[in-house]
Amino acid sequence: MQIGSQIPGSTRGIAGSAQAKTATGHDSFAAAAATTRHDRTPASGSKLLSEQEQAVLLPSRENVGRMAAHAQALLRQKLEQAGISASPAFELLESDPNTGYISVRGERPDVAAIEALINGDDKLSLAIHNVNALASHVPQLEAAAAYTQAWYAAQNDSERMAVFDYYRALMTSLRSDTHMQFGPQGMAFSLNGEAIALAA
């Protein structure tokens, strides 16, 4: 069995405590993967999400795209109200996840003004923070789901042990590098170099 082929593509990662055991008594990541099956996605419609809708979003690429679209709408509105152009594009970096402070980088003279504008709006800065926070959980949740598939595809205890060892090592090496940019075309967001599609 090709264990590596079970991985689909690809912090504050999440992988809930696992309860399933191997024949030798080792913990698995099955319970963590199970959480992905109960992803409650708010009804489609406005790109702006209510606080309640944001609270129930579970880590998935689709939901990261929904949260990014929410942040995009807030940022675009804020810039338009302040009379600030979206061109040229600029980067948005969360310099301190504990405070949620957003740094702005770009080749334009009003970078400091944009940074002050964002951090002066709690809803906007929190929305940008939430995009990164939600995305940071995705790699581990995807790996946990792949682990569960590989576990049940294993034909015997030896294969299951190999699956367990493989994913245990994988979980310790996962990363969640995010990149956010805003420009005339709106927001672009990527996770570990892979673009995340924003909700239409």
C-alpha distance across the termini of the chain, in Å: 39
3-state secondary structure of 189: strand
pLDDT for 56 = 58
Residues 184, 171 contacting (CB under 8 angstroms): no
What range defines the domain where residue 127 resides?
A: 3-196
- Rounded-to-integer distance, Cα 75 and Cα 78, Å: 5
Dihedral angle, C-alpha 11, 79, 111, 183, nearest 10 °: 70
User: How many angstroms separate the Cα of 172 from the Cα of each of 81, 130, 185?
Assistant: 45, 23, 36
The structural domain count of the chain equals 1
Q: Nearest-5° angle of CA 64, CA 48, CA 190?
A: 25
Residue type (1 letter), 183 = G
Read off the tokens for 96. Answer: 């301190």
The whole-model pTM stands at 0.70
Could you tell me the strand order of the sheet in which 194-196 lies?
Answer: 101-105, 90-96, 178-183, 186-191, 194-196
Burial of 103 from C-beta contacts in 10 A (0-12 / 13-18 / 19+): middle
C-beta atoms surrounding 26 within 10 Å: 14
3-state secondary structure of 100: coil
**For every one of its 200 residues, what pLDDT tens digit does the chain have, with 9 covering 90 and above?**
444 433 333 333 333 323 332 333 344 344 443 333 334 343 334 567 776 666 557 789 999 999 999 999 999 999 999 999 999 999 999 988 788 899 999 999 999 999 999 999 999 999 999 999 999 999 999 999 999 999 999 999 999 999 999 999 999 999 889 999 999 999 999 999 999 999 87
